[in-house]
Amino acid sequence: MLLGSVYRYVVLRTWTRILSQGHEAVPEVTVATCQFPVDADVTRNGRYILRQMRSARKHGADIAHFPEACLSGYAGADFPSYEGFDWESLERVTLQILALAGQLRLWVVLGSTHRLTGDHKPHNSLYVIDATGSIVDRYDKRFCSGDPAERTGDLAHYTPGDHPSIFTINGSGAVR
138-170 residue pLDDT tens: 999 999 999 999 999 999 999 999 999 998 887
Between CA 125 and CA 166 the distance in angstroms is 14
Dihedral (Cα; 12, 126, 136, 105), 10-degree rounding: -40
DSSP conformational letter for 79: B
Q: How far is CA 46 from CA 29, 36, 43, 91, 150, in A?
A: 25, 11, 5, 11, 30
Which residues in the chain come in under a pLDDT of 50? 1-19, 173-176
CA pair distance 174, 40, nearest whole angstrom: 33
In angstroms, how far is CA 44 from the centroid of its own chain?
16
Q: What is the pLDDT of residue 14?
A: 39
pLDDT at 168: 86
In angstroms, the CA 16 to CA 137 distance is 26
**pTM for this predicted structure:** 0.84
Say if CB 123 and CB 158 are below 8 A apart. yes
> Which pLDDT does position 28 carry in this prediction?
84
Report H helices in the chain.
16-20, 42-58, 87-104
